[in-house]
Chains A and B, each alone.
Chain A
Amino acid sequence: MKRELAAAALLLLLIAGAVWNLHSADRLNETVERSLHRAEVSARHGDYEAALTALENGRQVWDAHGTYTQIFFRHPDLDAIQDAFHGLEERFLQEDPAWPAALGLLRYHLYTVDEMEHVTVGTVF
């Protein structure tokens, strides 16, 4: 009976861990998204310096969760996010009017990673 109870407790712990992971991924994505939104507003007003600062804040938040993301997310997805951060940074530095495409790509990769953690019919199957 002890073994079954331990297994049930471990299973509950794993379920709790999965729920915690889901919230953590959502929180991280929302925090980064807030920075990206600030960067977007600044860039639309032509203030690329402020856009770069906001983007850098978002990147710092993302990098600060490096251990968490490396443990739970697929590494090729993380590489794609880093590349997208770098791509958007380049666009802002060059004041390239094509930055919305780079921002869209970064948002897409962040959304994909977060979406993978959500239990939906689409992600399960």
Chain B
Amino acid sequence: MFARVMISPRLITAVLPAVAALVSCQRGNQADTAIDEGILIIGNAAEPRGLDHHLVTGVPESRLITSLFEGLASDHPYLDDVSPPGAAKSWDVNEDKTDWTFHLRRDGRWSDGEPVTAHDFVFSYHRLLHPDLAAYYADMLYFLVNAEDYNRNRRSKILLSNDRVPGATWEDFDGLDGSPDESVDTDGLGSPPEWERAGDEEARARFVRARGLDHLPPEALDWLLESPDDRYSWPASAAPEQIRALLTALREHHGEDLFEIANVGVTAEDDHTLRIRLRESVPYLPSLSCHYTWFPVPRHVVLAHGEITDRFTPWSRYPNLVGNGPFKLKEWRFHDVIEVERNPHYWDAENVRLNGIRFHPIENPYTETRAFLAGQMHASYTLPPDLAETIREKHPENLRQEPWVGTTFIRFNTTREGLSDVRVRKALALALEREQFVEHIFEGHTTAVSMSPEMGEYSPEPVLEFDPERARELLAEAGYPNGEGFPRYSLLISRSSARPQAETAQAMWDKHLNISITIENRDWGSYIAAQQNLEFDMASAGWVGDYLDPTTFLNMWMEGGGNNNTGWHSPRFEELLREAATKSDAAGRFAVLRRAERELMNGMPVAPISHHSRNYLLHEAVGGWYPKLLDNRPWKHVSLER
């Protein structure tokens, strides 16, 4: 029986014509069909981790979210330094550029027809900053006054600074740090430390320091209150009754959300007036508000599916997701497609040109390029560099290569012997022939002359150059004449696509400085971990700007910055950044930032190599699609025409 089924003639006669029919039918070109339907089909690199823009950080997510939501201002179709009105119709600002009033559109609607109000914005910024939501990107809102204290849950400081502790102010507790002390030995306390396990006085004192004053359970606060002086080391400036008052206040407000008390700089003056107070001068706030962290979430929908602090509610999934952008969610299949369609409630719906967009999360850039060339898509996400030459020859009309605010660089661990000498770091930076990188390795990139690329009115002083002579001198001065005795450092990379650039640097250093390094390829997780723990010598890395201002490339090099990872810091550099934050005129501000950037390049914790470029394929029928420095796609202006 078994055997007969296998090759039964009847089966063959049934299957063969079917297969033949399938194969012989000529396929219609999907891209052409979609043009007639007004639906744009594009590659989007990866499956988004989610569409709750308070919880994501990636570029694929950003492209989707900008089609579904809109900030106070919006992206101009082709200008980079102009931000036309979005959810806000207009805005006023004080002289200092620290106090902004946004007038929301009266006709602004969520995609379910509910009005978009200033309360939605306050709720959104509250949620993003809420310490219990633990949003990765909360620091994008640290520009708001008191936002950082609230997000970091500095409860003592918030209570002291806002008259919640009778007879005491924050100044009285100068130097108090209520955050967890990671150096405390938590043996026997459990992980995380538990109060119940802290049996004796000594263990309880350790518990208090390990958890931090701002994060104690009520029992621990009660215990401290019994005898505050000898159970915690208080700043000398605080009087005993003040300490008692602070502990009482902490006890009273335990578990309470301090958003109101903290007086975070966002308030709804009325339903359509939003006031934003900033801790520093931010002349580029409208452009910043086009970053999705500044977009609103629909309060009524988020709360219908859970609490303000719930991370995993289904509000941001199909079919619940409600936005205020030009499009709304139509379909979501993992690793396959996310389709959006025209949002009829959008205030500017009549000027939206497309009927919908299909985002395909294609991880493999070769697959994506093949699909584009086979007529299945209108735009690819990225073009593999090794295909650029062929495409330039055969499909020049489809090739797009556009500047993108990003920098590739080599990060130095300045705590390593040798690399701790700025002359060594400079020698390594000066021996890199950037033209070669740009010509042969980084397709479409431009050579870096400093850390920040040019953007708008800002251009950094050109300090980086190729000067092997000077590099050799510096190396000799540092005690390594002709590279003798130079330590054998390793250059850390992740992903094999970074190997060519690493090998090029290796060869240049060998040729010009007579030193040899090794290349170490690690998976992404350990590559990141090694840098964060300063367990590396040199690392090949990159950074893409979040908004169009040089601070997005400079702030990261401050002491303790989560992305610094070089062990380098400079009081002078940080002083200049602080000075720039007080300047409200663009020219004066940029002049100070230029000096800060010079200071950074003087310390050379990184050797910038090139500035990014976006390389991709675009169908001739796509209109309203212009190069944008941040690669933000203002979807509502995009069109399809034969």
Chains A and B are bound partners: no
B residues whose Cβ falls under 8 Å from a Cβ of A: none
A residues whose Cβ falls under 8 Å from a Cβ of B: none
